[in-house]
Chain A
Amino acid sequence: MLFDGENILICEDEPFIALDLAASVEEAGGRVVGPAASIAEAERLLASATVQGAILDVHLTDGEVTPVAQRLMEAGIPVIVQTGVGLPDILRERYPDLRAYQKPVPARRLVEELAKLLSG
């Protein structure tokens, strides 16, 4: 098992990618928070759950994921980003260590990368 029951937030608006990710996290022993298709939904979820890790898509239905990523990074929570166009400038400048993966990336790969951050 890659995870040990940790709560993992997933932000992804594309249904197939989101459900594939969610299933992969569960199969790896994580608990899925989400998947959230919007920033608003993610914030709502974070208000009632603590998470130990997150896999985020950059473009959500109501804008770029930046506020969610910032909130998690400031709290020291491991974050993996996948994107079709690249990281928003503000995230790239502020968090040079933030790992971003160019779509398409298999869900399993993202899960493994997040697990490394969590154990590491």
Chain B
Amino acid sequence: MADRMRRFDWLRTPLGSPRDWPRSLHTLVDVMLGSRQPMFLTWGPERILLYNDSYALILGKRNPEALGRGFEDVWFDIMDKVKPILDRAYAGEPTHMDDIALLMHRNGFPEEAHFSFSYTPVRDEAGSVAGMFCACTETTHEVRTKAAMMAEKERFEQLFEQAPSLMCMVRGPEHVFEYVNTAYRTFVGKERDVIGKPVGAALPELDNQGFLDLLDSVYRTGEAFGASQMPVEIRREPGLPIERRYLDFIYQPVKDASGIVTGIFVEGYDVTERVEAQERQKLLLREMNHRVKNLFSIAIGMVGITARSTQTKQEMTQALQGRLGALARASAISQFDPATRKSGGGTMLRTLIGEVMEPYADEDDPGGRERIQLEGEDLPVAGDAITSLALALYELATNAIKHGSLSAPGGSIRIAWGIDGSALNFFWDEEGGPPLVERREVRGFGTSLVKRSLEGQLNGSVSWQWKRDGLSFNARIPLTGLAGATS
């Protein structure tokens, strides 16, 4: 470029012969040609353009014709932007232009390059502005880095938006919401506009729940904080009551280049369903534990009673096995219902009776008749009523086997029931049994057990009638007792 400038016919330009150029112009041209930084200057009222090799690259196809021509002529296509800045420089004010994008061919292919320009007015010996000197700084790399970072940030934000976990970024000592993702917005209520507000103001119900103190502490110490299954009382939608949820979360301090905490990144997971399931599990376990203890208590009582009411080991074994079996059957059909938190999710009366009478129903019957006949509309039985009914039925059945209708071939029992007002009316009618000569069981433990189960526990009333061929038994039990009593 130095050669070209020397050979250039300056006489054809308003600048005239270089020998007549002022000293300041010469000095600037020397500086410019000696620099590798792109530089140019314009001189005179016509703003004649002079530049170095590095700037020639910026000019691209405009070089070499641009040399010695008016700047406004060369850059006609961007004059609307550049001219006001140039005019200000000519008026004596140093000016600056950041990030001008230019399409350049310096590497054999077109590429976008970015420059910043600083325009310095140049005065002649008389002190008036004669020209303008410009050093150009290429900012392509910085611009690209910044764009890449922006793209990265956008990509992260997109990922954050889709993330199932709650995410937000809070800035400054007041913890002002800068960013919240979709999951977070959903958690705190979509109607709430939290961006730009401090956490305490945006979510006032968090006051006194410890979260603000934790944020303060993370901000102050720069140490991350993590918690699991932390309860939070939050209003999920405006107008709805505050509800309790459980969160696993971390507060991660965000630091600037010098290590100073500038904000906190929050990531959390709503684990309420998991926590509630665990609670149900615990409750279930506690209930099961209680039931097992209760069953053992009853079993221990059974051993005591059975030992007293039997004569031989064999008799006791049989009686005890029968009672324990009835207890086991009752226990198997009653289930704990976590939804209502009541023991005994419940069963149906017909199922219960069928279950207890099952060991007696399948014997060969020469008369071709069902040994056990069930008649009645089905109704639910729940809670401890299941055990009470099952054990009472068992005592009736075992008595029928020993002394009643089931002790004779062809004997049978008709079990019928119905709802009478607010009570269950239950009938046990034995037919075809041997003539009853003894009634020793009437005052025995079996009768007491039935009475205590149905009267004592279920608040009902019972009556026995001994007929010629078996027992006629009736019980009236309030439906409220069948629906599940306390233990």
Q: Using a CB–CB distance below 8 Å, which chain A residues touch chain B?
A: 13-21, 23-24, 35, 37-38, 41, 59, 61, 84-85, 102-107
B304 touches A23 (CB 8 A): yes
Q: How far is it, in angstroms, between the C-alpha of A61 and the C-alpha of B300 when the chains are bound?
A: 21
Closest chain-B Cβ to A113's Cβ sits at a distance in Å of: 16
Residues of B within 8 A of A104 (CB): 293, 296-297, 299-300
Per CB-CB distance, the 3 closest pairs between chain A and chain B, nearest first, are: A16-B301, A37-B456, A20-B304
B297 and A17 contact, CB distance less than 8 A: yes
Binary flags per residue of B175-191, CB closer than 8 Å to A gives 1, else 0: 00000000000000000
* Chain A residues with CB below 8 A from B452, complex form: 15, 18-19, 35, 37
Per-residue CB contact flags for chain B residues 102-132 toward chain A (1 = under 8 Å, else 0) read 0000000000000000000000000000000
B77: min CB distance to chain A, Å? 90
Picked from B297, B308, B453, the residue with its CB within 8 Å of the CB of A84 is: B297
- A13→B449 CA distance, assembly (Å): 11
Tell whether, in the assembled complex, residue A17 and residue B456 are in contact, meaning their CB atoms are under 8 Å apart. Answer: no
The reply to whether A23 and B308 contact each other, CB–CB distance below 8 Å, is yes
B302 nearest CB neighbor, chain A only: A16
- In the bound complex, residues from chain A placing their C-beta under 8 Å from that of B297 are 14, 17, 84, 103-105
A14, chain B: closest CB distance, angstroms: 6
Q: How far is the CA of A30 from the CA of B304 in the complex (A)?
A: 17
Contact of B290 among A16, A85, A106 (CB under 8 A): A85
Q: Are A19 and B293 in contact (CB under 8 A)?
A: no
If A15-B453, A37-B452, A61-B459 touch, whether A107 touches B304 (CB-CB below 8 Å) is yes
The reply to whether A19 and B448 form a contact with Cβ atoms under 8 Å apart is yes
Interface centre among B297, B300, B388, B457 (most CB of A within 10 A): B297
- Nearest CB to that of A85 among chain B residues? B290
Closest B residue to A107 using CB positions? B304
**Taking the complex as formed, is B199 at the interface, i.e. its CB lies under 8 A from any CB of chain A?**
no
A71, B445: Cα distance in complex, Å: 31
The answer to whether A37 and B308 have CB atoms under 8 Å apart is no
With a cutoff of 8 Å between Cβ atoms, the chain A residues found around residue B308 in the complex are: 23
- Enumerate 24 A-B pairs (CB-CB under 8 Å) in ascending A order: A14-B294, A14-B457, A15-B452, A16-B302, A16-B304, A16-B449, A17-B301, A18-B452, A19-B445, A19-B452, A20-B302, A20-B304, A37-B455, A59-B486, A61-B457, A84-B487, A85-B290, A102-B293, A103-B296, A104-B297, A104-B299, A106-B304, A107-B300, A107-B304
Chain A residues whose C-beta falls within 8 Å of the C-beta of B448 in the assembled complex: 15, 19
A78 to chain B, nearest CB (A): 22
Q: Give Cα distance in the complex from A66 to B453, angstroms.
A: 23
B305 interface residue, CB < 8 Å from A? yes
Chain B interface residues toward A at CB < 8 A = 290, 293-294, 296-305, 308, 388, 391, 445, 448-449, 452-453, 455-457, 459, 485-487
Residue of B nearest to A37 (CB): B456
CB-CB under 8 A for A14 and B459, given A23-B308, A85-B290: no
Which partner residue on chain B sits nearest A108 by CB separation?
B304
- The answer to whether A38 and B305 touch (CB under 8 A), given A14-B298, A19-B445, A104-B300, is no
The reply to whether A15 and B290 form a contact with Cβ atoms under 8 Å apart is no
Is there an interface contact between A37 and B293, defined as CB atoms closer than 8 Å?
Answer: no
Contact present for B487 and A59 (CB under 8 Å): yes
Extra inter-chain contacts (13) besides given A38-B456, A103-B297, CB under 8 Å? A14-B294, A14-B297, A15-B391, A19-B452, A21-B301, A37-B452, A37-B456, A37-B457, A59-B487, A103-B294, A104-B297, A105-B297, A106-B304
B456 partner residues in chain A, CB cutoff 8 A: 13, 15, 18, 37-38, 41, 61
Contact A16 B457 (CB under 8 A): no
Chain A contacts of B296 at CB under 8 A? 103-104
The answer to whether A107 touches B457 (Cβ under 8 A) is no
Question: Nearest Cβ in chain B — how far from A21, in angstroms?
Answer: 8
> Contact at B305–A84, with CB atoms within 8 Å?
no
Determine the distance from Cα of A107 to Cα of B290 in the docked complex, in whole angstroms.
Answer: 19
A23 touching B305, Cβ below 8 Å:
yes
A20 B459 Cβ-Cβ under 8 A:
no
Q: Who on chain A is nearest to B308 by CB?
A: A23
The CA-CA distance from A41 to B459 in the complex, in Å, is 11
Chain B CB within 10 Å — which of A24, A35, A38, A84 has the most? Answer: A84
> Which interface residue of A19, A21, A24, A103 has the most chain B CB atoms within 10 A?
A19
CA distance A15 to B390 in the complex (A): 13
Q: How far is the CA of A101 from the CA of B294 in the complex (A)?
A: 13
User: Contacts of B293 on A, CB cut-off 8 Å?
Assistant: 84, 102-104
Whole-angstrom distance between the alpha carbons of A16 and B298 in the complex? 6
Please name all residues of chain A whose beta carbon is closer than 8 Å to the beta carbon of B303 when the two chains form the complex: 20
In the complex, A13→B294 CA distance in Å? 12
Chain B residues near A19 (CB-CB < 8 A): 301, 305, 445, 448-449, 452
Report chain A residues within 8 Å CB of B445: 19
> Closest Cβ of chain B: how far from A30's Cβ, in Å?
15
| B487 engages A106 (CB within 8 Å) | no
CA A84 to CA B291, docked complex, whole Å: 9
> Are B457 and A24 in contact, CB atoms less than 8 angstroms apart?
no
Q: Chain A residues with Cβ under 8 A from B455's Cβ?
A: 37
